[in-house]
Amino acid sequence: MFPAEPGPIGVFDSGYGGLTILHGIRQLLPEYDYMYLGDNARAPYGSRSFEVVYQFTRQAVLRLFERGCHLVILGCNTASAKALRSIQQRILPELAPDRRVLGIIRPTAEIIGQLTKTRHVGILATEGTIRSKSYNMEIQKLWPDISVTGQACPLWAAIVEANEADSPGADYFVKKRIDQLMRLDPDIDAIVLGCTHYPLLMSSIVAHVPQHVRIVPQGQYVAASLSDYLQRHPEMEKKLTKHGQCHYLTTESEEKFKENAQIFLHEHINVQHIDLE
């Protein structure tokens, strides 16, 4: 059903934020080929139901399989929270038993125990990710002594995509949500940025968190986890092409993707429009 020859690593996101995950992976593993798929026409996923996110993610994963990807990273917290388990349990055994789909919540959960001294951790994320409690479950599975507190930040991703990350308005909303989180648990000493857009608000985030609090973006930890995965699974590593190339797909217009991707990337890219429905 899907091409058997080696292919690129697929990275999927509902929008542009997954480009921060892709950037982290490519910095650590530049030799591999990558295919990024952004479902920009139907973004954001954050407030959508579990079933809708699952169906959209299923369509994207199958399309990346059709394009030759044997390994797909869900570079989207909402898709990782709402769809990953169903994809792994319902789609792979039936349609693609030799392919793998990985998320970005588990790698962050694995490292967080080494980054907190108070054992109180905060999560800043979209409404959907917070409501799913995926971070709470993954962290407490691995680190049962850690207390996890989540705070939804409904406007942050939109601010980034509007290229307003450095505006006074962005600063107001960043401070508001961080203050709310710290009021919920003043003992927090590590905050996970549970949305891939949020690293672009880093200067404002750093300005408003207490000095002793560590900020945990995901890109570097996802990249390190992927590197470890490939070392442990040489049978998958052999199915990946290595020419250092990256191809971009979008469900939006190609010109709009190029324009908005400039917020996240600092390179000229080639992008192709596709339909998922």
Rounded CA-CA distance 157/270 in Å is 24
**For the chain, how long is the longest CA-to-CA vector?**
53
**What is the Cα Rg of the chain in Å?**
18
- Check if 153 is active-site: no
Choose among 221, 38, 53, 26: nearest CA to 126: 53
Q: Which residues pair with 63 in a beta bridge?
A: none
- By the 10 Å C-beta count (0-12 exposed, 13-18 middle, 19+ buried), 169 is classed as exposed
Residue with tokens 């993954």: 138
Cβ-contact 119, 146 below 8 angstroms: yes
- Check if 69 is active-site: no
Q: Which of 69, 76, 153, 246 is catalytic?
A: 76
**Structure tokens of 176?**
């508001």
Choose among 86, 11, 13, 23: nearest CA to 45: 13
Q: Which of 69, 153, 195, 246 is catalytic?
A: 195
How far the first Cα of the chain sits from its last, in Å, is: 19
CA angle 74, 240, 75 (to 5 degrees): 10
Number of H helices, E strands in the chain: 14, 10
Q: Known catalytic residues?
A: 76, 195
